[in-house]
């Protein structure tokens, strides 16, 4: 067999090992990993001597704004940013216009994504109080999982009551899909924001004051109780505080199928950066204290937090720089900067490159049912690969980002590690730091290859559907 491409003599990284090897690719899949002399003949070769060959990042948390906010981002620009960040699969959030909460809206988003995506993607369905009845049609229409907003954030999607949330979990549990939670309790932060505004606070730190860690702690704890009761699988998005780790660990110890992610900004920025960055740092949940950093790093290291994601949340500069913090849009881009920010910590010796691929690719693939097709450099897997120069030193420049949103808290930051080439299913989508013209529309939805373990619903006889079913006969 003649391979389409052999990537020669790079350092191949898996969660267990890194070793010099060549990687042969045919028909979009990896067909061999090993000694260069053992590689099949190939139509094309790429010399990766001195470079690292990583499984492409799977970022399970991005907002590509399409349809609805084309001035912030669209699926084309968002996935171009992903390609430049070494990201080969993204999961897109449902707070677009209209929100992705019904089959027809989902179908429209699939059409947009398949026409313009440069990398593979999954689409989240919205699990809101008024979309619980749409779960089955959303699963049939091809969602990767569900998103439930326990608290208000950009897009102002109303948060379901605890009663509705229990019903939502009851309905999703038998589907086996995972529910990703924006775990911030709305009533706490709404009251605090009202009081802070009444007190005349409009400074950036007022945003943090409105959402202390207890907002997240309460939400994680409550979500875990409902997940335990119903058997629904849950994923805690953007873990921002040390305090959330205890309810997460306790739920895991009780056997709840609960996973979690954190983002670079919660481990690399702190309350000390608010004065410098102003509204640019406004994000939900908020960037917190320096004392949160070490516990979050440790939780990643010991496996309590499973993965790194970005919450890529692009906005226009004028939406990020208003004087009154309550009028500033929340979030900032991240899909393109996550890898260099994390690799800089590898260069500093905080953790290993093997740890990084566990958090960025292997664990997301396993937890979201995409393994063994995605998330690994292994024969049989999709050739989703980032070829990275770990030694490159460069400075993040917002104006050079692919995202339409040219404003991030990372501007001017010196980093180490640069993805030079990104392949999705064997095709270069970014090569020599250039977007490939034929990459647009190459991305495919990964829901078709998703393979979650059998569903394990609990207390089914007590569910709302069961207790309201008319008696037979
Ligand atoms: O800061 C945020 N921005 N947090 C979210 O949860 C949503 C996101 C957005 O869509 O802008
Ligand atoms: Zn988000």
pLDDT in tens, 33-48: 999 999 999 999 999 9
Mean pLDDT of 45-71: 98
Nearest to 234 by CA among 368, 96, 370: 368
Ligand 1 atom showing the smallest separation from residue 283 Cα: 1
Query: Is residue 313 in contact with ligand 1, taking CB distance under 6 Å?
Result: yes
DSSP character at residue 79: H
Cβ(22) – ligand 1 distance below 6 Å = no
pLDDT in tens, 124-136: 999 999 999 999 9
- Measured in Å, residue 216 CA sits from the centre of ligand 2 at 14
In angstroms, rounded to a whole number, what is the distance separating the alpha carbons of residues 399 and 472? 65
Atom of ligand 1 nearest to the CA of 314: 11
> Is residue 154 within 6 Å of ligand 1 at its C-beta?
yes
Is there an atom of ligand 1 within 6 Å of 270 CB? Answer: no
Confidence grade of residue 155 (pLDDT, cut at 50, 70, 90): confident
Question: What's the topology of domain 56-381+392-414+443-448?
Answer: TIM Barrel (3.20.20)
Q: How far is CA 188 from CA 200, 210, 211, in A?
A: 19, 8, 8
Q: What single DSSP character describes residue 72?
A: T
What are the pLDDT digits (tens) for 221-274? 999 999 999 999 999 999 999 999 999 999 999 999 999 999 999 999 999 999
pLDDT confidence of residue 5: 98
Q: What is the pLDDT of residues 401-458, one digit of tens each?
A: 999 999 999 999 999 999 999 999 999 999 999 999 999 999 999 999 999 999 999 9
- What spacing in Å lies between the alpha carbon of 238 and ligand 2's midpoint? 8
Ligand 1 contacts CB of residue 283 (under 6 A): yes
| CB 183 within 8 Å of CB 237 | yes
d(CA 217, CA 200): 27
Site to probe by mutation for ligand 1, drawn from 66, 280, 311 as the one with most ligand atoms within 8 Å of Cβ, is: 311
Q: Which pLDDT value is given to residue 471?
A: 82
State the pLDDT at residue 321: 98
* Residue 182, ligand 1, Cβ within 6 A: yes
pLDDT of residue 22: 98
The answer, yes or no, to whether any atom of ligand 1 lies below 6 A from the CB of 211, is: no
Q: How are beta strands 427-431 and 434-435 bridged, if at all?
A: antiparallel
Q: What was the pLDDT predicted at 273?
A: 98
Q: pLDDT tens digits for 284-330? A: 999 999 999 999 999 999 999 999 999 999 999 999 999 999 999 99
Query: What percent of the chain shows pLDDT beyond 90?
Result: 98
The 10s digit of each residue's pLDDT in 169-221 is 999 999 999 999 999 999 999 999 999 999 999 999 999 999 999 999 999 99
Look at the block and give the residue holding tokens 């290291």. 301
Ligand 1 within 6 A of CB of 263 = no
Task: Break the chain into its structural domains and give their ranges.
Answer: 5-47, 56-381+392-414+443-448
Average pLDDT along the chain: 98
* Secondary structure of residue 152 in the 3-state scheme: coil
- Rounded CA gap, 114 and 121, in Å? 9
Beta-carbon contacts of 103 under 8 Å, excluding residues fewer than 6 positions away, are: 134, 137, 138, 140, 141
HSE-up (13 A, CA, CB side) for residue 460: 8
CA of 284 to the centre of ligand 1 (A): 6
- How confident is the model at residue 232, as a pLDDT? 98
Has residue 138 got a pLDDT over 90?
yes
The ligand with the least distance to the CA atom of 286 is 1
116 pLDDT exceeds 90? yes
- pLDDT value, residue 472: 79
Is the confidence at residue 473, as pLDDT, over 80? no
R_g of the chain, CA atoms, integer Å: 22
Q: Give the burial string for 382-392 (b: 16+ CB within 10 Å, else e).
A: bbbbbbbbbee
């Amino acid at each position: 067999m003649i391979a389409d491409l052999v990537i020669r003599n790079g350092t191949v990284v898996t969660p267990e090992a890194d070793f010099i090897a060549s990687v042969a690719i045919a028909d979009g899949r990896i067909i061999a990993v090993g000694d260069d002399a053992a590689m099949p003949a190939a139509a094309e070769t790429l010399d990766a001597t001195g470079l690292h060959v990583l499984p492409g990042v799977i970022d399970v948390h991005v907002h590509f704004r399409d349809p609805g906010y084309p001035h912030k981002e669209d699926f084309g620009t968002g996935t171009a940013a992903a390609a430049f960040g070494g990201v080969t699969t993204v999961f897109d959030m449902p707070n677009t216009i209209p929100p992705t909460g019904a089959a027809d809206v989902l179908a429209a988003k699939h059409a947009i994504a398949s026409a313009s995506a440069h990398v593979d993607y999954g689409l989240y369905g919205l699990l809101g109080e008024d979309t619980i009845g749409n779960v089955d049609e959303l699963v049939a229409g091809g969602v990767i999982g569900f998103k439930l907003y326990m608290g208000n954030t950009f897009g102002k999607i109303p948060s379901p009551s605890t009663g509705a949330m229990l019903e939502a979990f009851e309905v999703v549990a038998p589907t086996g899909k995972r529910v990703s939670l924006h775990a911030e309790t709305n009533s706490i932060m709404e009251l605090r924001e009202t009081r802070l505004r009444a007190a005349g606070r409009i400074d950036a730190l007022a945003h943090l004051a409105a959402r202390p860690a207890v907002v997240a702690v309460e939400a994680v704890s409550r979500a875990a109780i409902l997940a335990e009761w119903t058997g629904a699988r849950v994923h805690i998005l953007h873990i921002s505080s040390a305090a959330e780790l205890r309810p997460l660990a306790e739920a895991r110890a009780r056997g709840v199928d609960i996973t979690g992610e954190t983002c670079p900004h919660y481990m690399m920025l702190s309350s000390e950066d608010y004065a410098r960055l102003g509204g640019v740092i406004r994000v939900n949940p908020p960037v917190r204290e320096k004392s949160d950093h070490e516990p979050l790093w440790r939780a990643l290291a010991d496996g309590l937090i499973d993965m790194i994601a970005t919450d890529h949340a692009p906005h226009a500069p004028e939406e990020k720089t208003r004087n009154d913090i309550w009028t500033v849009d929340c979030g900032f881009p991240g899909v393109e900067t996550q890898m260099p920010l994390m690799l800089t910590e590898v260069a500093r010796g905080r953790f290993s490159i093997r740890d990084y691929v566990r958090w960025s690719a292997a664990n997301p693939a396993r937890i979201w049912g995409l393994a063994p097709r995605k998330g690994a450099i292994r024969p049989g897997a999709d050739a989703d690969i980032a070829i990275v120069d770990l030694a490159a030193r460069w400075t993040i420049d917002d104006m050079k980002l692919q995202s339409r949103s040219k404003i991030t808290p990372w501007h001017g930051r010196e980093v180490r590690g640069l993805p030079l080439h990104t392949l999705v299913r064997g095709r270069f989508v970014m090569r020599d730091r250039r977007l490939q013209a034929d990459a647009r529309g190459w991305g495919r939805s990964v829901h078709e290859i998703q393979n979650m373990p059998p569903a394990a619903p609990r207390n089914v006889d007590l569910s709302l559907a069961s207790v309201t079913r008319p008696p037979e006969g």
